[in-house]
Amino acid sequence: MLSSLSYSDRPALSIAQAARVLAPGGQLVAVTLHRHRHAAEVARYDHKNLGLEVDELAAMAQQSGLTVDLCAITSRERQPPQHQILTLHAHKAGVPA
């Protein structure tokens, strides 16, 4: 899920739906913006939210039945407004078919 959560007004539902269709042992990787205060950027790019907090994204995955392997800020954009990038790696229990 590359940047798709920025365009969702219900990111928890997006994570839940992705988790629902994952096969046992399947992996989910999501990359989105960390929470920010740049409302003008949201409007400019038609984003639906101001990003997510680390704990918030991890909780969405856990509440969807996934085991979180990583949920952290993994980089920062070099150009203003220098958004921080949040990466989630999670998996669904079970053995791949």
CATH number of the domain that 10 lies in?
A: 3.40.50.150
Question: For residue 24, is it within any domain?
Answer: yes
pTM: 0.88
Predicted pLDDT at 47? 81
Identify the band that residue 46 occupies on the pLDDT scale cut at 50, 70 and 90.
Answer: confident
Q: Residue 56 belongs to what domain range? A: 4-92
Question: For residue 97, is it within any domain?
Answer: no
Q: How far apart are CA 20 and CA 15, in angstroms?
A: 9
Q: Please count the structural domains in the chain.
A: 1
Predicted pLDDT at 79? 87
- % of the chain at pLDDT higher than 90: 64
Predicted pLDDT at 97? 64
The pair of structure tokens assigned to 49 is 């939210």
Amino acid at 48: K
Find, among 73, 81, 96, the residue nearest to 25 by Cα.
Answer: 96
Question: For residue 33, is it within any domain?
Answer: yes
Find, among 28, 33, 37, 29, the residue nearest to 3 by Cα.
Answer: 33
